[in-house]
Amino acid sequence: MKNTENRKKRTESSSLLSNLPSRNRAGRTWQLVFLSSTVIGILALTALLLNILDSSFGFVVLHAKTDPATFAVDGVALEDQTKGQLVSLLQNELSRGAYNKLENEKPFADRSRAEVYGIVIERLVKYDVQETWSLWQSVTRSGEIRTYAAGQYPGDKLIFISWLTTDFVSRPQSSEAVTAGIRTAIFGSLWTIFITILFAFPMGVGAAIYLEEYAADNWLNRLIRTNINNLAGVPSIIYGILGLAIFVRLMEKMTSGALFGLVDPTTANGRTILSAGLTLGLLVLPVIIINSQEAIRSVPQSLRKASYGLGATKWQTVWFHVLPNAIPGILTGTILAVSRAIGETAPLVVIGASTAISIDPSGPFSKFTTLPIQIYQWTARPQAEWRHLAASAIVVLLAMLLSLNAAAIVLRNRFARKY
């Protein structure tokens, strides 16, 4: 009896062992599947980066409207002339009004030679882009390109340039590809995001605290919670329409700044940074609420009990224990939400972000453009050079995003103290 039982046990265990190789095989297969999905993701990201970088550098044929040789003085070529010579050249060639305007912006005495030279190139020589090549083409077929350019554009300059330069970042928008920059867009983006955070962070955290700590668990609050989750999934264009209706139209007096007497009421309208910031704020609000709720919920119940057990009020419990322990999670959620807002284009197009703006925004009531809008607009142009500029702007946008995130992570780690 006992023997047969033992034997039965042994056969059972050996049948378990017999399928061990197949179990191990299944495990390895799945591991491979997971690895390949990771690899595909990494490849996609790399392709994106390469594509952007490919467009950010390369050969370009520049045609000068006026041959620089014509500005040679006493046999001294333009690029070798002194600052004084260049200034007098400008004085001679530009109209009086244009010269005085430049002088008013910044006296020529204060400008460096390089700056003055830049103005000369921009105003007098006036380069025009004829044809461009990507980095890959430029590197692999440079000889071919040289021969082609020499034949096709005799007398024009073929140079290898980086579209992404400090000038590009610091120049305002322009209608010429050679002189176009993204400073206005960067400021626009920063202002908008600032407003977004200012609006959405306190609102989101406040709502999360209420829903988690105060709201009773009844059908109404459950409905609200469910719908906040739904809102997080609503397409951003819908928020644009909402923002257009509410902030741009309905609250025009306020969003245009007319209510506060800060702008000229005759020309002001609601298509301002404030409207954009609030719209993006609405867009990310559900995400911030959900993430904050999650963070608050993850604060151990035992801490709340300890606090109440000592006779603390609800608010003291929330303020001294729940929030400090939830803040790293709340910040993480906010960072993710704001990153999304920085890259948003659709709602801003709807509420009417301008594209051709060369004046830096000066406050919440300014007209504005943002980096994604600028990129979107540039990629839509038929000429190849704008696509190169768009690629460079994308590099800047990515850098901005990463540095904002990094700053937020540092901030979060400071909150998540050693205790």
Is residue 178 within 8 Å of residue 128, measured between CB atoms? yes
Q: If you ran DSSP here, which 8-state letter would residue 360 be given?
A: P
- Among residues 342, 351, 332, the alpha carbon closest in space to that of 397 is found at 342
Q: Is 151 an interacting residue with respect to another protein (CB under 8 A)?
A: no
Q: Choose which of 14, 110, 219, 419 interacts with another protein (CB under 8 A).
A: 419
Q: Is 308 an interacting residue with respect to another protein (CB under 8 A)?
A: yes
Minimum CB separation of residue 325 from another protein in Å reads: 7
Helix axes 20-56, 2-18, angle to 10 degrees: 20
For another protein, the binding residues in 195-234 under the rule CB under 8 A are 216-217
- Total residues contacting another protein by CB under 8 A comes to 21
Nearer to another protein, 214 or 260 (CB): 214
Cβ atoms within 10 Å, residue 328: 18
d(Cα 419, Cα 417) in Å, to the nearest integer?
6
Considering only 47-55, 84-92, 155-163, 318-326, which stretch makes contact with another protein by CB under 8 A? 318-326
Minimum CB separation of residue 223 from another protein in Å reads: 17
What is the sign, positive or negative, of the torsion defined by CA atoms of 146, 152, 155, 160? negative
Q: Is 304 an interacting residue with respect to another protein (CB under 8 A)?
A: yes
- Tokens coding 13: 């265990």
Is residue 68 within 8 Å of residue 58, measured between CB atoms? no
Considering only 149-157, 226-234, 301-309, 357-365, which stretch makes contact with another protein by CB under 8 A? 301-309
Q: Is 311 an interacting residue with respect to another protein (CB under 8 A)?
A: yes
Q: Choose which of 6, 37, 316, 362 interacts with another protein (CB under 8 A).
A: 316
d(Cα 208, Cα 366) in Å, to the nearest integer?
32
Cα→Cα distances 50→44, 104, 416, Å: 10, 43, 36
Minimum CB separation of residue 334 from another protein in Å reads: 21
Nearer to another protein, 24 or 316 (CB): 316
Q: Is 320 an interacting residue with respect to another protein (CB under 8 A)?
A: yes
Residues at the site binding another protein, with contacts judged by CB under 8 A = 216-217, 300, 302-313, 316, 320-321, 325, 418-419
